[in-house]
Amino acid sequence: MMNGKTIIQNHSGSGDNVAGDKYSVERPELISLLTEKWFEDQVNGAINNLGRRFSPELNIEIDTNKYFDAIERNEDFRKSCRDEVARFVGCIEYVLKTFSKHFTQDEISTIESALKEIIAKCYSFINSADSDFEDKVVFDEIILIQGILSGYAEALREPSLEKILANLFDFKKFLDGNYFKVACKPILLIVGNGGIGKSHLLANALNSRLKQHKKSVFILGQHLKGSTPPWKQILENASMEEYLDDDFLEALNEKGKELNERVLIAVDAMNEGQGKVIWPDHFAGVVQKISTYPWLAFVATLRSSYESLFDVAHVIRRNGLIRVNHSGFSGREERAARVYFQHYGINFPRVPLLAPEFSNPLYLKLFCESLVSEGLSEIPDNFRGFSAVVKSLVDSTDKKLSGGDSYDYPQSKKLARKAIYGIVARMSSENVREIHYDEAYEIAEKVVRRFSDKRHFIEALIDEGVFSKDIRGEDEFVFITYERLADYIEADYLIGEFKPSEWSSISEFLGHNYQDVFENPFMKQGVLEALAILLPEKLNVELIDLFSSEDGVPSHIVEACLQSLIWRKNTTITDSMKAFVRHSLESGDNRESLFSILFYLLSEPDHPFNATLLHDYLVKFTMADRDSFWVPFLQRASKEYSSVRRVISWKNSSSNEVGVSQNSRLNLAIGLSWIFASTHIELRDSATMSLSTLLEDNLVTAVNLLKKFEQVNDPYIYERILAACYGAVLRSEDRASLSSLCKILVSNIFDQDEVYPNCHVRNYARGIIEFACHYGDFSLEDMKMVRPPYNASLPDSYPDNDEIDSYRYDYKADDFKEIYWGQNSILSSMVTEYGRETSMYGDFGRYTFESAFYDWKGEKLDTNGLSNYACWLIFNEYGYDPVKHGAYDRYASAGDRHTNRIERIGKKYQWIALYELISRVADNIPMNEPSDWPNFEKEVWYQGPWQNHLQNIDPTTLVPEIKSGNPEAKKFVLEDKLANWNGEDAVWLADTNGLPDPKFFIDFDELVVLEDHDTWDEVNLDYELSKDARKQFWYQIRSYLVSSSEFDAVYDYVSQKDLMGRWMPKTPEVFNIYGHEFCWSPAYKDIQKSYYGFGWETPRNAESEKIGKILPTTTEYAWEGGATECPRFYVPTDLMFNGLRLKPVRNVGEWVNDTGAKVCFNLSMLEKGLSGVVLKKSALHDFLVENDLKIFWTFLGQKMVLPSDHWDFRDDSLPPLNVSGCYTFIDGEIQGKIATFQR
């Protein structure tokens, strides 16, 4: 025995013994010390020591938080996993139900077996706190399923199979992603730049755990000192120095096992203090050691610049460390700024905060505090640029410290400024970023001692957040807290040293004294950026002017100058810089870097480099020339947190309450519009919805935007501008400028010698005008002008096959180049089913291009000729050139073909050609009436792209952020109304006493349900592995209108029947109109034809006698296109919509009446997992009386026991129990009855 511990193996003496060195400890002794209070005191002590770095009142929910859910494997994590598994299972079930006839029995058995294995492994992990995830087994089974389905997707050319494969890829990606991996192996490193909020993130997570009584150990890197191994210091700080590290970890592990939850060991800022000396030699060992304990988790934070020192890549490879990047408020800048501004009492600005530094929590905090210190409650116009922020910060520090209750010195003496600059001067002279505490102390004291009796001035500056200090061994060091601030002050100090009387120029001065600043871009790039800000501000000299034109400007100097533009005041930008920017654009030098900078400056109203510069530059090119450089830039700028993404996400995350000025709004709109040239599908779609949101209730901006782009030569851009305008118009309450918008559309599009030949442009423009006329905001004497057919011409003849084949490059030729594949890809892709014989048909040619002309089938249309003409347009009119576009196109579609979201430039031109030719054909040849199938003797004129499924985005419907826990939704959650699941399968099936009362699903006090469908599983898809089957109950509620005279006959008949078999009229489902187009639009009126299943229907009884006309009360919206998929929702049928005088509002799936009261809404928009649409009971009553109608509800349900192969419903050993019921208003109350039928 030694100190109460029994040594099993010899200790290495390092404090970081390898995983095999285990120590037995008298655990009761040590575990007894790990009390609730010990954990609370330890975590609270560390949080308190963080000081200003943790501000719980300024907490913003960010994506990185989710990793702590995974570490805990809490209910939020489990639910997300269940949702992913359920989505995956649903995909496979759909495949087996829909395509089973194509599979062999062996393939079905293989899929079923693989699915069972995947479900078993996933739920075994999800449902337990300590099991390992058998990822290799699961991935092998997924790949097995993918292999089978890929073959059929290729052979059948079935789009739904392609989508299923994409979903399977997403499921595998989820299981292989960091979020799921952290739950499997909770060893996490969070990296990020200085001031990005890593300490706050960790403290907030541990504070939250503390409130939930979860056990954590919190270690601050700043507390480590000397060269003693970390475990020894950690134990000393925890007052457990007499124990060895394994004793401590064993005890923590036992505590976790006892509580059945992981104990989290968290280390903040490993690079701080002496950590950068201590941790690198021990980091891998610590990770390895903790990972051997099943009930321990480890999270550490590290500044990004120290990753190489810590050899993070090696620890990831060898020890399975999981690394995630923390990017502060990136993607949530507007939300964060709103919280901060509200906290500090600052009004939100009228110019968007697009500068990248607003992603940095520390900068945002300093920005707000500097405004407050100046007594400001809003950002003044002259408060632009970094100089203003620094000046305000330093002045506010002087203002506070000069007060009578502080150091009591005249504020005009600026002692804080002098001390700060004095310390930075010492750092600069020694070429370091930190100095010994004693040096900093003496510098600060020397400044303050003449004016104040108080001492320790450096501590006051540290308390104000200007400086921070590190402890290293027995020594302390001081450094500027915020790195960009340090760069700025050092640059300001350098310029301050310049004396014109002693030097001929600033160039000579800097070159002689500070050559290292210019020659060491890696160490001093931030100082160079600060010099680029300050030189023109203080000396009217640009940094680039310091270099001779003969030698050229070094690339790192150019980059510093460009980056500085984000932080400069408008008034400091010299003619020299303006000329340099113009030259960079025209020459192409530094063009992509400059584009990125310009997106940050887009919205500034008076900035010389705002959206006007970008627009004037881009608009002068042909589409082909512009696409050669602009499309590749947009593809590279599509990455997360780029300036382009910043512009998109700012508006997508902000509220229309933000008082953005009209000039800024137009500038943003211009920038967003140029993104529409992109072939990156998701980027283009996201920008479209962002612009649509920006224009909402600001249609004057739409008017001005259309004026700006009326001559744009890219239909891809013009189409999406009009799409955004259309969405904005349909959601706007303020339609003051709608009439002006309509006049522009009539003039620029319809009142032309040839109406714009693009089916989407025409449709959006017409839709805006039709909407305005419908709601009385505009009138047009001759509506035929905006309604098809229009006047575009169609060639008398098309290029023949030989002419088009002549565009193909021979890949066997000696002079063939890789770039030529781009042109060949167009030619191959455009071949129709029976087209040019030199190639088999192309996917686009047959399944997209030819399919779009299906309703013109017959001798009157030559699709091969049209395809040839499209190719001719692409090469001759649109200007496709493999020299310009081939390099991009060669790799644009690289990757998994089921998930590709980036198209070729050639593919862009193929779409443009298709949309043009649809327009030209539609103006000259009538199409077959779809409802006349299969005779096709009737002919009609083409109305719009909903008819041939060409819509690619719903710009009218904003995807709502639907969260769980909405109080308004609580009363609609009905799990407690369900029958229990007790009893043997056969007994449970036969039991009718436990059936839920349908009234619970229909009547909600002042609201009634019009339609709802739901399913409950015994274990909610959480498969019990001991069972071969599970119980399920599902129901469908529908409602129907009947004339009062026919009601009794209809109701009496239906209430006695088994409703199974879908013999009652089904709710129409529409997937080819937009969410805000219901009940007024040309598209809605077109699909109401009987061919689409709308209108009154007449069911027949067993003797085939008509029993009366009935009308379903709802239509289902089921849009699934583009990057803006929206939950399905129900819309009242047009008779009810108009009779109730409903009006759509901004929120999709919700309507108000003519007094503005919300009377109808979808539950799916309130809460995840809910479905159905509800209507005010009083509004329904008034409608029925006014129209001499009555309503009844049908309730169709089924109790069933699903076999283990639950997609196979042919097993009759346990026939399901059908439940049918009919309900209506009787004496003002909803009453009715149900009956059961055994199948």
pLDDT tens digits, 17-73 = 333 333 344 456 777 788 899 899 889 988 887 877 788 888 888 888 999 999 999
**Residue 1089, both tokens:** 């034809």
Closest to 662 (Cα-Cα) out of 695, 637, 629 = 695
Cβ atoms of 68 and 178 closer than 8 Å:
no
**Residue 871, both tokens:** 């190719």
**Is the backbone of residue 404 left (phi > 0), alpha (psi -120 to 50) or beta?**
alpha
How large a percentage of the chain has pLDDT more than 90?
A: 45
Cβ atoms of 1110 and 1097 closer than 8 Å:
yes
For residue 652, give Cα distances in angstroms to 204, 369, 686, 883: 27, 27, 8, 37
The pLDDT, as a whole number, for residue 13 is 35
CA–CA distance, 290 with 7 (Å, rounded to integer): 19
CA–CA distance, 612 with 1053 (Å, rounded to integer): 69
Cα-Cα-Cα-Cα dihedral sign, residues 437, 443, 445, 448: negative
Using 50, 70 and 90 to split pLDDT, how confident is the model at 958? confident
What's the average model confidence in pLDDT over 777-802? Answer: 95
Using 50, 70 and 90 to split pLDDT, how confident is the model at 1207? very low
Using 50, 70 and 90 to split pLDDT, how confident is the model at 424? very high
Helix, strand, or coil (residue 305):
helix
The pLDDT, as a whole number, for residue 255 is 92
What secondary structure letter does DSSP report for 257? H
Using 50, 70 and 90 to split pLDDT, how confident is the model at 1102? low
Mean pLDDT is highest, among 6-20, 166-180, 739-753, for: 739-753
Helix, strand, or coil (residue 973):
coil
The pLDDT, as a whole number, for residue 914 is 98
What's the average model confidence in pLDDT over 1062-1068? Answer: 84
The yes-or-no verdict on residue 211 having pLDDT over 80 is yes
User: Could you write out the DSSP letters of every residue in 951-972?
Assistant: ----TT-PPP---S--GGGGGG
Cβ atoms of 530 and 491 closer than 8 Å:
yes
What secondary structure letter does DSSP report for 282? T
The pLDDT, as a whole number, for residue 823 is 95
pLDDT digits (tens, 9 = 90+) for 804-818: 999 999 999 999 999
Name 927's bridge partners: 940
CA–CA distance, 792 with 1079 (Å, rounded to integer): 30
CA–CA distance, 508 with 552 (Å, rounded to integer): 17
Cβ atoms of 72 and 290 closer than 8 Å:
no
Using 50, 70 and 90 to split pLDDT, how confident is the model at 526? confident
The pLDDT, as a whole number, for residue 11 is 31
What secondary structure letter does DSSP report for 356? G
What's the average model confidence in pLDDT over 287-303? Answer: 91
For residue 767, give Cα distances in angstroms to 74, 728, 763, 764, 956: 48, 12, 6, 5, 11
The yes-or-no verdict on residue 666 having pLDDT over 70 is yes
The pLDDT, as a whole number, for residue 879 is 97
Cβ atoms of 1074 and 1119 closer than 8 Å:
yes
The yes-or-no verdict on residue 553 having pLDDT over 90 is no
- Tell me the Cα Rg of the chain: 35
The pLDDT, as a whole number, for residue 791 is 95
Mean pLDDT over each residue of the chain, to the nearest integer:
85
Return the minimum-mean-pLDDT range out of 165-169, 702-706, 1207-1211. 1207-1211
The pLDDT, as a whole number, for residue 555 is 85
pTM here? 0.83
CA–CA distance, 14 with 288 (Å, rounded to integer): 15
What's the average model confidence in pLDDT over 771-789? Answer: 95
What's the average model confidence in pLDDT over 1108-1133? Answer: 83
Using 50, 70 and 90 to split pLDDT, how confident is the model at 909? very high
Helix, strand, or coil (residue 560):
helix
pLDDT digits (tens, 9 = 90+) for 985-1007: 888 888 888 788 888 889 998 99
What's the average model confidence in pLDDT over 554-581? Answer: 90
Residue whose token pair is 């979860």: 214
pLDDT digits (tens, 9 = 90+) for 76-111: 999 899 889 988 888 888 888 778 788 888 888 898
pLDDT digits (tens, 9 = 90+) for 1002-1057: 999 899 999 999 888 775 444 444 345 678 888 899 999 999 999 999 999 898 88
CA–CA distance, 262 with 70 (Å, rounded to integer): 11
pLDDT digits (tens, 9 = 90+) for 810-848: 999 999 999 999 999 999 999 998 877 666 788 899 889
* Residue type at 178 in one-letter notation: N
Considering only residues 991 and 637, tell me which one the structure prediction assigns the higher pLDDT.
637
The pLDDT, as a whole number, for residue 840 is 73
Q: Does the bond joining 789 to the residue before it have cis omega, within 30 degrees of 0?
A: yes
